[in-house]
Amino acid sequence: MRDLTGRVAAVTGAGSGIGRALALALASEGCQLALCDVDEKGLSETGKLLEARSAKHSLARVDVADREGVFGWAEQVVEDHGAAHLIFNNAGVALGATVQRMTIEELEWLMAINFWGVVYGTKAFLPHLERAGEGHVVNLSSVFGLIAFPTSGAYNAAKFAARGFTEALSIELRAAGSPIVATVVHPGGIRTAIARNARIGSAEPDVISLEERERLFDETARTTADQAAQVILRGVKRDKRRVLVGPDARVFSGLQRLFPTLYQRLLALAAKRRPTGIV
Ligand SMILES: NC(=O)c1ccc[n+]([C@@H]2O[C@H](COP(=O)([O-])OP(=O)(O)OC[C@H]3O[C@@H](n4cnc5c(N)ncnc54)[C@H](O)[C@@H]3O)[C@@H](O)[C@H]2O)c1
């Protein structure tokens, strides 16, 4: 979709980070915005930033893990804006826990948001995009949807699944000659609130505080949310099926492709050296 002017774009998790930056960048492209989040305060702050730019927008408190809620929101978006052309399934959370120690409930919590949230958003909006005669489904995976990482098993499972789901959809749409495009996005470290909002597994030993994790994350995450949004929109405008965000994402993608098992040995070695187990 080369020209986004006048299109209606829906973004989940728009109260912070990449979702907020996407909303602002889409507004600059002349889009109307339909935004949702569970964090009403963050969402209303995004709304204020859009008001300052006179961008037409609607805000809704929607939990992407709630199937009825997401389908209801999609109907509401079309009622409020007249159509829907783009859906960014962006809302996400993180969990730091080894596979051995994470509880099934913790895994289910993460999958409900990071995987099922993507599925519901895609399924709820796709018929509306088809009705509009053009559209783009943009699903946020991660570099952790390309490579596995210690203490990220739940996150890896959801992000690998989001990638498989989106790539299958993309192939189906192409095969059917559909005007809809599906893109999977793999950001590397992006400086957002994701580490602050992360949960640590309830059975994890208390070797590192959440503040320390945040500090480590901020040190390694080099790309800003605004830069990430620009890269994602460039990919959308070029109908890219896969978008890598940040130099670290390109390095990890290359590492995975060239050394699909060696990278695991290297990460295990690095994890062994750290008291946290986090590389
Ligand atoms: N920041 C990174 O380094 C990074 C890297 C790779 C992928 N990602 C992915 O990018 C996406 C955006 O993350 P971010 O970095 O901007 O994080 P963030 O924490 O800054 O923003 C995530 C937003 O999602 C919202 N959210 C959480 N659970 C929700 C739910 N159940 N329903 C609706 N909204 C919900 C939060 O309230 C928050 O506003 C996520 O899918 C994340 O996994 C982030």
Q: What pTM did the predictor assign?
A: 0.97
Cα(102) to centroid(ligand 1), Å: 20
**Domain assignment of residue 35, yes or no:** yes
CA of 176 to the centre of ligand 1 (A): 32
Residue 119 maps to a domain: yes
Burial 11-36 (b: 16+ CB within 10 A, else e): bbbbbbbbbbbbbbbbbeeebbbbbb
- pLDDT at residue 22, rounded to an integer: 98
Q: Is residue 278 part of a domain?
A: no
pLDDT given at position 278: 60
Give me the number of domains the chain comprises. Answer: 1
Residues whose CB falls within 8 Å of the CB of residue 166, separated by 6 or more in sequence, listed in order: 118, 122, 137, 139, 141, 182, 183, 184
Answer yes or no: is 258 within a domain: no
Beta strands in the chain, from DSSP E residues, in sequence order: 8-12, 32-37, 57-61, 86-89, 95-96, 135-140, 180-187, 190-191, 199-200, 223-224, 242-245
Q: How far is the CA of 177 from the centre of ligand 1 (A)?
A: 32
The answer as to whether 154 is a domain residue is yes
For residue 73, give every residue at least 6 positions away whose Cβ sits within 8 Å of its Cβ, in sequence order, or none: 10, 34, 36, 60, 62, 124
Residue 243 φ/ψ, nearest 5 degrees: -125, 120
Alpha helices of 92-209 — where are they, by DSSP H? 104-114, 116-132, 153-175
Domain that includes residue 45, residue range: 8-248
Whether the CB of 50 sits within 6 Å of ligand 1? no
Burial, 195: exposed, middle or buried (Cβ in 10 Å; 0-12, 13-18, 19+)?
Answer: buried
* Ligand 1 geometric centre to CA of 122 (Å): 17
With a 6 Å cutoff on the Cβ, whether 156 touches ligand 1 is no
Which atom of ligand 1 is nearest to 221's Cα?
3
Q: pLDDT in tens for each of the 279 residues of the chain?
A: 889 999 999 999 999 999 999 999 999 999 999 999 999 999 999 999 999 999 999 999 999 999 999 999 999 999 999 999 999 999 999 999 999 999 999 999 999 999 999 999 999 999 999 999 999 999 999 999 999 999 999 999 999 999 999 999 999 999 999 999 999 999 999 999 998 899 999 998 876 777 887 888 888 898 999 999 999 999 999 999 999 999 999 999 999 999 999 999 999 999 888 756 566
Distance CA 14, CA 89 (A): 10
The answer to whether position 88 is within a domain reads yes
Q: Report whether 113 contacts 35 (CB < 8 A).
A: no
Q: What is the pLDDT of residue 243?
A: 98
Residue nearest to atom 36 of ligand 1 (CA): 13
- The CB of 113 under 6 Å from ligand 1? The reply is yes
Q: Residue 218: what pLDDT?
A: 87
Ligand 1 pocket check for 87: Cβ under 6 Å? no
Mutate to test the pocket of ligand 1, among 95, 144, 194, 214 (most ligand atoms within 8 A of CB): 194
**Cβ of residue 142 lying under 6 Å from some atom of ligand 1:** yes
Q: Is the CB of 121 under 6 A from ligand 1?
A: no
Residue of the nearest CA to atom 7 in ligand 1? Answer: 142
124 found inside a domain? yes
- Ligand 1, residue 91: give the atom nearest the CA: 24
pLDDT of residue 215: 86
Does 112 map to a domain? yes
- Please report, for residues 217, 242, 250, the alpha-carbon distance to residue 253 in angstroms, rounded to integers and kept in the order given: 19, 11, 5
CATH number for the domain that contains residue 229? 3.40.50.720
Distance 1 CA to ligand 1 centre (A): 24
Q: Catalytic residue at 155?
A: yes
d(CA 237, CA 136): 10
Q: Which residue has the tokens 């927008």?
A: 57
What six digits make up the tokens of 266? 């290297």
- Distance set, CA 156 to CA 85, 150, 162, 269 (Å): 29, 9, 10, 19
- For atom 42 of ligand 1, which residue has the closest CA? 92
The predicted pLDDT at position 2 comes to 87
Of 155, 160, 165, 217, which is the active-site residue?
Answer: 155
Q: Is the CB of 42 under 6 A from ligand 1?
A: yes
